[in-house]
Amino acid sequence: MIKIVNDGNRMELHSPTALPHASSFLWNSKMMIHMNCRGYAVSQFMQPEPSKYAYAPNLEAKTFMQPEQPYFAHHPGRFFYIKNETTGRFFSAPYEPVREKVEHFVFSAGKSDIQWKIKHEGVDIIMQLSLPKDDVLEQWSFTIKNSCTEEKKLSIYPYFPVGYMSWMNQSGVYDDHLNAIICSSVTPYQKYKEYDKIKTLKDKTFFLASEKPNAWEISQFAFEGEGGLHNPDGIQQNFLSNGNATYETPACIMQYQLQLKPNESKTFQFLFGPAKDEKEIAAIKKRYFDKDGFSHIKNEYDQYIGEGKGCVHIKTPDKNFDNFVNHWLPRQVYYHGETNRLSTDPQTRNYLQDNMGMSYIKPETTRKTFITALSQQKESGAMPDGILIHKEAVLKYINQVPHTDHCVWLPICLKAYLNETNDYGLLNEKIPFENSSKKASVAEHLNLAMHWIYKNRDERGLNYIDQGDWCDPMNMVGPEGKGVSGWLTLATAYALTVWAEICENNNRKNDSIRFHNKAKEVNKAANEHLWDGEWYARGITDNNIPFGIKDDQEGRIFLNPQGWALLSGAADTNKADHLIKIIEEELETPFGVQMLAPAYTKMREDIGRVTQKYPGSAENGSIYNHAAAFYIFGLYKSGYRDKAYVLLRKMIAGPDQEDLVQRGQLPVFIPNYYRGAYKQFPKTAGRSSQLFNTGTAPWMYRCLLEGLLGLIGTKKGLKIDPQLPSHWHGIEVVRQFRGATFNITISRKPKIKVMTILVDGNQLQEPIISNIQKKTYQVEVLLPIDQSKSK
Amino acid sequence: MIKIVNDGNRMELHSPTALPHASSFLWNSKMMIHMNCRGYAVSQFMQPEPSKYAYAPNLEAKTFMQPEQPYFAHHPGRFFYIKNETTGRFFSAPYEPVREKVEHFVFSAGKSDIQWKIKHEGVDIIMQLSLPKDDVLEQWSFTIKNSCTEEKKLSIYPYFPVGYMSWMNQSGVYDDHLNAIICSSVTPYQKYKEYDKIKTLKDKTFFLASEKPNAWEISQFAFEGEGGLHNPDGIQQNFLSNGNATYETPACIMQYQLQLKPNESKTFQFLFGPAKDEKEIAAIKKRYFDKDGFSHIKNEYDQYIGEGKGCVHIKTPDKNFDNFVNHWLPRQVYYHGETNRLSTDPQTRNYLQDNMGMSYIKPETTRKTFITALSQQKESGAMPDGILIHKEAVLKYINQVPHTDHCVWLPICLKAYLNETNDYGLLNEKIPFENSSKKASVAEHLNLAMHWIYKNRDERGLNYIDQGDWCDPMNMVGPEGKGVSGWLTLATAYALTVWAEICENNNRKNDSIRFHNKAKEVNKAANEHLWDGEWYARGITDNNIPFGIKDDQEGRIFLNPQGWALLSGAADTNKADHLIKIIEEELETPFGVQMLAPAYTKMREDIGRVTQKYPGSAENGSIYNHAAAFYIFGLYKSGYRDKAYVLLRKMIAGPDQEDLVQRGQLPVFIPNYYRGAYKQFPKTAGRSSQLFNTGTAPWMYRCLLEGLLGLIGTKKGLKIDPQLPSHWHGIEVVRQFRGATFNITISRKPKIKVMTILVDGNQLQEPIISNIQKKTYQVEVLLPIDQSKSK
């Protein structure tokens, strides 16, 4: 059903119906398109806020990207009807809207393009979508070949619905000079001051064709007629009616009649996207359709995407795992770092974590991120709820709700960057505060942040939660200013510890001791007030009610406090062993580890919105991969390598057919969640959200590098501490690190008693490769068969 | 194609495809449903803001009701699939989603229900929708009869899609105890303070059945499957799968298998609507399905609708005109008065005009309206942009934009009320102001309003427009505080005149003289500064540029200033004759009179948003019936009876087939507009907006009473001044007025030289029936053949 091809560079799906929502996505710095295997698409571009150029058939709400996006017949998509002019029969590619079962179907996700290959009724079709590096538009090519022994007379109809653009003004005309359909609209508004903004928007949608069509239609209603999208009147006619859309829902539809000899093929190229005016469209036509513009720009994009390949390449006993790690994981990390989820005000924690991932791809981006974020820190040390990364940006949606956790991500994410780059110089950069002329070093900024989060605790020593922490919708635990977060308390302890370690590396011994002591103090408070005898509570409400404890009927146990107790060191070995067992019983499923259980089935007014989400979805007890990644990171930190690998592996859909079907997703990205509530709703457990915006990606990469592979950057150099699962006998790794390339083999050997490391044939005395030169190292790591007990 | 049946109480459409968007609507005080002939529906209810219980398939924006609502396969609707279990063949009623051309199709709009009658493949179907008077739910009955000579085995599947309820939480289950499908959701929100509001909302949608189904399905996706809505997997199966919706788009689908002998029939009843909880649903079940609940509540609703029958019944040479006037126009007037367009903050001008219409139906409602509106007047005399009619209401959307015309509607609408009721006592009622303990009589309130609007003029004597007047989107003429409205200046003159007349009737002679003088002054200013030699300009911008003048390329002439110059008396007879000729040339079309021409095709930044609307739609040069009604009222006021009738008649779609097809609407309501820009876009000119929210209805009724029929209430009694079009020889009228019934015949007689009125056989000396008793009068009005020259 799925197939890895092109040395792992492409993932193929051979059915349009087995995983009907399977998809891939492409992006550049200004846009994103999420393309479903059947032809449906969700696309947006920044101007500067996310905007559409292909709309729903009705007036859609502006909202963040939705999990489990519902598709329906008139959902935006990109389709081609293919009609045999001799028989009158037709079908559509890739699959929608006709849904005819074609003889051969391949949806092929590439890193810098998406393709379909279809064979049906004597024709071979290759459709390809790619993006340019800098422009906002889709590049489509459509090749059709006559695979019969007789000449064929065909009509090809691209059908790119534009949808309901605007109630104020929407229309579409065919521009004969440009070979383009140009749909125009006015972004709806009512207050006259908004005019200054809307008048700058790209309110046109164009469909530019490389060749003149024989006919065209722009009124969606006229095209569809009484036949319906599966059998449109327009296709039943000999020729489309050359009709405009005049305050009617527009669609870009062209008809090409062609005759193909046996084995003859024909390629069409199309561009689809938004524009300000006809002049811009004319310029695009020139740039893309003159000479080799089309393929030149495609190559540029390939190169851009190629730059996101990450710093490690692995070969392990699990080929499917390797494929994801080598190809798709760094791509997803790169996407986050490059686009900040197409937001102008990314949540502070997302901004920091997404860019933590860039430490492994483009660390200069990560560096800038810290400077941008810390320049918006308040002098008190508090961090804002979102980081404004565009001059017109304002805090929107969830960023208008006060959350208390943002500071903890600073040292945690910084550590990853420093590990990878050793750029301790960053700590001395002097940068400003929000609304202040004062400047301070990055180290000072971090000190202030750590003081702020340390101070923001109650008399018991537990961190206030206000209207949320990492868990956005946990909004009613602490609005009165009393409720505390168990997770955040443990995260504070961990952040203080990490910062203390950074201070030590940065030769600030006193700070280091000070922050280590504070961390211990916070851990102590956590153990005193949050441990319920079995696990750590998720928090204590404004009314002093602990929750996420064994006496609760719903939301008894939350994953995050346990995972972070491993990280912070609050849990000693006994507690850690116990927690892992408990989590296995209470939270693990065949699809990964749930964030809480049992999922809430009704509102708990002292916890909040999280309890109102559908049980097993999102933060209410799904397999929320971001939380799972924290836990896995904690497991590796504590040496539970077998458990860690099991859960790491479960983040990736497949390879079993049954698993793929249940998740409904291709393993080309990690979704923000798989449905959980496994015991409550087994029917849907495992189903992917299909949402590729998630803090999981950088953490998974970090788990891989610092956990599984144990190839960890330190002040001195590359520390080697692999944590292979017990059943692996050996792996090969190529690691790029500080300008050097390390070709590493790690293998278990019967005669080895303690880990032995050979670098270019020489045995290391301590497991760190230091004095790294810009060269290629050959590294052999030999492990004992029974390399310490796997916890 | 269309047929008037049941003594005009029903309008039938005999094709699902000839007028694909033809529709009717039902309402009660809490809800509204706009039902399309093919089965699509838009429904909403108040809690207190408009809410949905059947949603679009995606996250739809909250917005006001849209003109030319686009429909598409997955649009909300109410459908029944009918399967022949012997042959496996199926179709759907009324038409969507299968779109099988049935043998016989009738969509029948009633006043208090909507029916379909379908005959196809040996079965007769009658579907009926009605509403209860007080509850928020739809009452459906579905009757199927075997019209063959052999027994039939059938399955009936109601398919009521619920759509995308919420990204936070949506699901559906079957409740065996209630025979109901219950879909649950949580209205999405992010800020915790909103919880207090959302927790009170009716977030469930129920589908209650009178009998237990054989099977059911709630997952829309599972039901539709690969077959598509026109051929769903669920129908292809023997039985539906009894599947729930678990964070999946829900639909209410049941299957009833039945065997019908020849001529045997079977009726099902269903209820569909929102609820807070299961308890409420159980109570509804009991109330509707126990004993005769269903039909009892239907009768109650019939009676409620019956109360809105208006105060006049006519019989003229134009049967189709009569039908609309006798049956549908008062219904539309009543709808507006009863629901205030389902808004909690109706625009002040809409609130006043919509309730002006209630003068003819439930004048006590009109009285309350004035008191409510004037209690929100500022002490300065200014009126707010919207009237808050619910304790939780706030000014929203367009009501946040300052408009300057609201005061003028007070005397104008009041006059209609006083004409009808003679309730001059209202003028002495003491009522408060907004945010003030001060009270003043209604007359004082009106004085203040008239002073305010009189004062709100510039040094030339023209009324400031600020960010809009009656024309909401004319928002950039005067934002700097300098631009003026030509229309509003004339409207001010008219309002002052009307108020002066009321003052005179109210024995305030001095006020009357004062306001008459002011009116003259304003008219003088208008003639000095607005008359461009051919017609009155629409306004003068902040930069002192007049517009709506003969030198303009677009928007050369606007209807409103001309119509109101007739009303205000600014135009003398010469000017009036000239204007009417000009309007005929520039603005009249076969579908009515346009609001402006040529329609703007690009933004004019000194006029504003109106110029950005699509040319020929809405305020940008459509046949905007509200404006047309003003003009017609002006024509009657000035005695242009033939022209007035022609335009009045053109407001109503049909009866010619060609006209009906072009308008695409049944003559059961007047839409807010028909597409205009007749010379620019003839293809779409005449197309109905299908939007039945419009200030047209009360004005059309007033034109009818005070113009065409000339049966006008005055202080003394019923004044008789008919203005029949020249080609009518006689009409019959039954007029309810101040407790009396007048059976009136009006006829032209060769021997009559001046109008002669016989009341119960006695000739009147002046054309006023005074001293009206609560009885039935027989009135004969004899007109000369050539009753004065028809202008």
Tens-digit pLDDT profile for residues A604-627: 999 999 999 999 999 999 999 999
Q: Taking 80 as the threshold, does the pLDDT of residue A576 lie above it? A: yes
Please tell me the distance from the alpha carbon of residue A375 to that of residue A391, in angstroms, as a whole number: 14
Q: Taking 70 as the threshold, does the pLDDT of residue A791 lie above it? A: no
A472-A474-A478 Cα angle (round to 5): 120
Burial (Cβ within 10 Å: 0-12, 13-18, ≥19) of residue B131? buried
Which region, left, alpha or beta, applies to residue A40 given φ > 0 means left and ψ of -120 to 50 means alpha?
beta
Cβ contacts (< 8 Å) between A171 and chain B: which residues? 614
- Mean pLDDT in chain B? 97
- Number of cross-chain residue pairs from A and B with Cβ atoms under 8 Å apart: 156
Instruction: Please give, rounded to a whole number of angstroms, the shortest distance from the CA of B95 to a CA of chain A.
Output: 11
Please tell me the distance from the alpha carbon of residue B699 to that of residue B416, in angstroms, as a whole number: 10
Which region, left, alpha or beta, applies to residue A689 given φ > 0 means left and ψ of -120 to 50 means alpha?
alpha
Nearest to B74 among A73, A192, A609 (CB): A73
- The confidence band for B255, taking pLDDT boundaries of 50, 70 and 90, is very high
pLDDT tens-digit map of A373-400: 999 999 999 999 999 999 999 999 999 9
Percent of chain B at pLDDT > 70 equals 99
Please tell me the distance from the alpha carbon of residue B150 to that of residue B122, in angstroms, as a whole number: 9
pLDDT tens-digit map of B545-591: 999 999 999 999 999 999 999 999 999 999 999 999 999 999 999 99
Q: Which one of A100, A192, A233, A403 makes the best mutation probe of the B interface by having the most chain B beta carbons within 10 Å?
A: A192
Instruction: Taking residues B520-537, report their average pLDDT.
Output: 97
- Mean pLDDT in chain A? 97
Confirm or reject contact between A761 and chain B (CB < 8 A): no
Instruction: Taking residues A410-427, report their average pLDDT.
Output: 98
3-state secondary structure B38-100: CCEEEEEEECCCEECCCCCCCCECCCCCCCCCCCCCCCCECEEEEEECCCCCEEEECCCCCCC
SS3 A237: coil
The phi and psi torsions of A782 (rounded to 5 degrees) equal -110, 130
User: Would you say A156 and A126 are in contact if contact means Cβ atoms under 8 Å apart?
Assistant: no
Report B:400-429 residues touching A (Cβ under 8 A).
400-401
Cβ contacts (< 8 Å) between A681 and chain B: which residues? 246
Q: Taking 70 as the threshold, does the pLDDT of residue A787 lie above it? A: no
Q: Taking 60 as the threshold, does the pLDDT of residue B787 lie above it? A: no
pLDDT tens-digit map of A691-721: 999 999 999 999 999 999 999 999 999 999 9
Choice among B345, B472, B552, B606 that is catalytic: B472
Q: Taking 90 as the threshold, does the pLDDT of residue A64 lie above it? A: no
Cis peptide before A767 (omega within 30 of 0): no
Q: Taking 90 as the threshold, does the pLDDT of residue A523 lie above it? A: yes
Q: Taking 90 as the threshold, does the pLDDT of residue B749 lie above it? A: yes
Please tell me the distance from the alpha carbon of residue B118 to that of residue B81, in angstroms, as a whole number: 13
Q: Which pLDDT score, from 0 to 100, does residue A292 have?
A: 85
Instruction: Taking residues B192-221, report their average pLDDT.
Output: 96
pLDDT tens-digit map of A751-762: 999 999 999 999
Instruction: Please give, rounded to a whole number of angstroms, the shortest distance from the CA of B646 to a CA of chain A.
Output: 28
CB-CB neighbours of A507 under 10 Å: 9
Report B:214-243 residues touching A (Cβ under 8 A).
221, 226, 228-230
Cβ contacts (< 8 Å) between A164 and chain B: which residues? 70
- The confidence band for B435, taking pLDDT boundaries of 50, 70 and 90, is confident
Instruction: Taking residues B521-526, report their average pLDDT.
Output: 98
Q: Model-level pTM?
A: 0.96
Instruction: Please give, rounded to a whole number of angstroms, the shortest distance from the CA of B485 to a CA of chain A.
Output: 17
Cβ contacts (< 8 Å) between A192 and chain B: which residues? 401, 467, 475-476, 479, 608-609
User: Would you say A214 and A187 are in contact if contact means Cβ atoms under 8 Å apart?
Assistant: no
Bridging pattern class, strands B740-749 and B776-784: parallel
Q: Which pLDDT score, from 0 to 100, does residue B790 have?
A: 53
B639-674 in b/e form (b: 16+ CB < 10 A) is: bbbbbbbbbbebbbbbbeeebbebbbbbbbbbbbbb
Q: Taking 60 as the threshold, does the pLDDT of residue A352 lie above it? A: yes
Q: Which one of A190, A385, A480, A623 makes the best mutation probe of the B interface by having the most chain B beta carbons within 10 Å?
A: A190
Q: Taking 90 as the threshold, does the pLDDT of residue A479 lie above it? A: yes
Which region, left, alpha or beta, applies to residue B507 given φ > 0 means left and ψ of -120 to 50 means alpha?
left
Report B:177-216 residues touching A (Cβ under 8 A).
186, 189-192, 195, 199
Q: Taking 80 as the threshold, does the pLDDT of residue B296 lie above it? A: yes
Element (H, E) at B129: strand B123-130
Cis peptide before B590 (omega within 30 of 0): no
Confirm or reject contact between B61 and chain A (CB < 8 A): yes
Instruction: Taking residues B660-678, report their average pLDDT.
Output: 98
Percent of chain A at pLDDT > 70 equals 99
Give the pair of three-digit tokens for residue B312: 């006049």
The 8 Å CB, 24+ separation contacts for B319-326 are B319/B4, B320/B4, B320/B652, B320/B654, B320/B655, B320/B667, B321/B649, B321/B652, B322/B8, B323/B4, B323/B8, B323/B11, B323/B667, B324/B652, B324/B667, B324/B668, B325/B704, B326/B8
Confirm or reject contact between A332 and chain B (CB < 8 A): no
User: Would you say B700 and B648 are in contact if contact means Cβ atoms under 8 Å apart?
Assistant: yes
The whole-angstrom distance between residue A89's C-alpha and the CA centroid of its chain comes to 41
Please tell me the distance from the alpha carbon of residue A350 to that of residue B142, in angstroms, as a whole number: 54
SS3 A590: coil
Q: Taking 90 as the threshold, does the pLDDT of residue A789 lie above it? A: no
Is there a catalytic annotation at residue B196? no
Please tell me the distance from the alpha carbon of residue B35 to that of residue B21, in angstroms, as a whole number: 9
CA torsion sign for B435, B439, B444, B445 is: positive
Q: How many Å from the N-terminal Cα to the C-terminal Cα in chain A?
A: 36
Nearest to A168 among B75, B476, B613 (CB): B613
Q: Which pLDDT score, from 0 to 100, does residue B789 have?
A: 52
Instruction: Taking residues A193-216, report their average pLDDT.
Output: 96
pLDDT tens-digit map of B466-507: 999 999 999 999 999 999 999 999 999 999 999 999 999 999
Instruction: Taking residues B359-372, report their average pLDDT.
Output: 98
